[in-house]
A and B are shown apart, each in its own frame.
Chain A
Amino acid sequence: MSWITNFLTSSLGKKLIMSLTGLFLIVFLVVHLSGNLQLLYDDNGVAFNSYAHFMTTNGLITFLSYGLYALILLHAIQGMVIAWSNRKGRSVNYKVGNTKSNTFASRHMALLGLLVFFFLAVHMGDFWYKMKFTDQLMLVPVQGMDVEVKDLYARVDAAFAVWWLVAIYILGLIALALHLWHGFQSAFQTLGLNHKKYTPVIKGLGMIYSILIPAGFAVIPLYFFFIK
């Protein structure tokens, strides 16, 4: 099995792991956003609460969600390992920096990733942890269901009435947008997919995705804070 360890510890193997986990997380964000947009229904949380109940009690989803957490951690830890070895690539820095030949996002992927990770800690601590491991959320009846479900909608409503939580969300999502701005097309390059025929399409899609998805998420706290 030495060939596989040699492969996965080589610089290209390490990057392949970043690329594949990154692309998986890109797909996850679409799923997550489409579920969360139910928060915008004007039904006092009926749709969102029954969705949240399903997502936290369905066995298959729970199983998959632990896979997702593992891949988030793998992406984050591997990213830090790579960033650390990249720092060792240049022990003495230049006196005059060069910002002309690449983008801000591409230079600061590790920092942006770290910001997204801290944002995730705040985000999951507030919603996921309270939903799954505490009894802080009220039980409410939902039309058409036999059991009462936890009122996550009320927690979202309360959280997004706090200005500094809304600010953390917006900043976290800006960091995410920049991370995706570079990460989307970079994942394809690492897989070896770079060609004049389709790379402009990948780059275009990456730009649209990295603006649209974080903007979609940002609508939710802004809607609760300013409109609702």
Chain B
Amino acid sequence: MNLKLKIWRQPNKEAKGKFEVYEVEATPEMSFLEMLDVLNDQIIEEKGNPIAFEHDCREGICGTCSMVINGQPHGPMGLTTTCQLHMRHFKDGDTIVIEPFRATAFPVLKDLVVDRDSFDRIIQSGGFVSVGTGQAPDGNSILIEQEVAKDAFDAASCIGCGACVAACPNASAMLFVSAKVAHLAYLPQGQVEASKRVKRMVHQMDREGFGNCSNTYACEAECPKGISVENIAKMNREYFSSVIGSQKK
């Protein structure tokens, strides 16, 4: 299949980028990233500068691949990361526009690569349990209701890719932060520090320059892991009770 690609090219953080048009020959069984690999081989053969894009596991679990395909983070398929998106979902002769995630808190470093350190700083501000965990405990040494374990696991399945920020009209990070807050707040190990954690993580999120949540739920629609906006409501509850209920100022 012949494809026309309009790809954002930007040599570095400071440079002004622009779209460039490429043509590539792909097969339906290729993944989207393999199609880009083919294009990069082509560019290198022509002594050009290959397109920079991020990828790691290519199994849909690491959250590294990040690009907006025809206006949708991770492309047109629901619950799918870019690496798991296959070319059979496109048609011969299609024009595909590929852009980096756009957010003030995710500055473009090169081409399609953005700096997502703001997520790391949010995690560093409180997204952890600060006790020595030792070896893996026995499976049922702490009993947790199945429903609670399920909600905690659903929240924990966030891979931190940033598609929620990329999809949100305000570039808000609420879905990511709420998934991390909720995942730990549901479980006894995380509840000890829950009040402190939510305040620190929300304030760090605000400092990073993400927009506010206006409940458009574009994040949930585009999330490759199907993280629910119920987590955002959970974080709001955690935050309000932390502010109103905790002893600490």
B-contacting 9-mer, from A141-149, A167-175, A184-192:
A184-192
Which A residues are CB-close (under 8 A) to B6?
95
Most buried by B among A97, A98, A107: A98
A-contacting 9-mer, from B86-94, B124-132, B186-194, B211-219:
B211-219
Contact with B along A23-37 (1 / 0, CB 8 A): 000000000000000
Which A residues are CB-close (under 8 A) to B105?
89
> Bound complex: CA of A124 vs CA of B72, how far in Å?
43
Contact of B99 among A87, A95, A190, A194 (CB under 8 A): A95
> Bound complex: CA of A2 vs CA of B199, how far in Å?
14
> Bound complex: CA of A89 vs CA of B209, how far in Å?
6
Contact of B72 among A3, A92, A100, A190 (CB under 8 A): A100
- Whole-angstrom distance between the Cβ of A48 and the nearest chain B Cβ: 38
Within 190-249 of B, Cβ neighbours of A (below 8 Å) are at 202-203, 205-206, 209-218, 221-222, 229-230, 232-237, 239-240, 243, 249
Within 80-95 of A, Cβ neighbours of B (below 8 Å) are at 82, 85-95
A86–B19 touching, CB < 8 Å:
no
Which A residues are CB-close (under 8 A) to B202?
10-12
Q: Is A53 an interface residue (CB 8 A)?
A: no
Most buried by A among B6, B19, B230: B230
> Bound complex: CA of A65 vs CA of B7, how far in Å?
56
Size of B's binding interface in residues, CB under 8 A: 46
Within 135-182 of B, Cβ neighbours of A (below 8 Å) are at 167-172
B236–A102 touching, CB < 8 Å:
no
> Bound complex: CA of A48 vs CA of B172, how far in Å?
47
Give 24 A-B contacts (CB < 8 Å), ordered by A residue.
A2-B249, A10-B239, A15-B236, A82-B212, A82-B214, A88-B209, A88-B211, A89-B104, A89-B172, A89-B211, A90-B102, A90-B103, A90-B170, A90-B171, A95-B99, A96-B71, A101-B72, A102-B217, A107-B169, A182-B216, A185-B215, A189-B232, A192-B236, A194-B229
Residues of B within 8 A of A (CB): 6, 19, 68, 70-72, 97, 99, 102-105, 167-172, 202-203, 205-206, 209-218, 221-222, 229-230, 232-237, 239-240, 243, 249
Residues of A within 8 A of B (CB): 2-3, 6-7, 10-16, 82, 85-98, 100-103, 106-107, 109, 182, 185-186, 189-196
